[in-house]
Amino acid sequence: MKVKVILKSLLFSYAVTGAFLLFLAFLLFQFDLGEKPVSAGIVAVYILSCFSGGFMSGKILRKDKYLWGILVGAFYYLLLITVSFVVQGKWEMSLVHAVTTFFMCLGGGALGGMLS
């Protein structure tokens, strides 16, 4: 049961990611945004996606909500890193960026779980 909820929440997080990235791409082409707004948008996508997955898992499981949100954020991060590595064929992320992204995913998931 709990594994199913985590997988559903993770799938929902990636659906939210896709929607936000499409919106970000639209804004990029419509307004010719620079590198900094796009980077900020990607950070926001990570946090909001993990937040939504953590919120969903917390709503369904109703006990230890923040822990389930953290778990969704951790799995989101692992899948994100794995897909990035497979697509690029090499590790292109600095350690600082990897650690920062990890804590953003955990924090977004935990916050979503707590607020559910």
- Give CA–CA dist 113/51, Å, rounded: 7
- The per-residue pLDDT for range 37-76, each reduced to its tens digit, is 888 999 999 999 999 999 999 999 989 999 999 999 999 9
Nearest to 76 by CA among 37, 41, 50: 50
* HSE-CB for 106 with a 13 A CA cutoff: 8
* Residue boundaries of the structural domains of the chain: 2-115
Those residues with Cβ within 8 angstroms of residue 35's Cβ, 6 or more apart along the chain or in another chain = none
- The per-residue pLDDT for range 90-111, each reduced to its tens digit, is 888 889 999 999 999 999 999 9
Q: What is the pTM of this model?
A: 0.90
**Three-class SS string for 29-65?**
HHHCCCHHHHHHHHHHHHHHHHHHHHHHHHHHHCCCH
Instruction: For residue 78, name the pLDDT band (cuts at 50, 70, 90).
Output: very high
Give the burial class of 89: count Cβ atoms within 10 A of its Cβ; 0-12 exposed, 13-18 middle, 19 or more buried: exposed
Percent helix / strand / coil, the chain, rounded to 5: 90, 0, 10
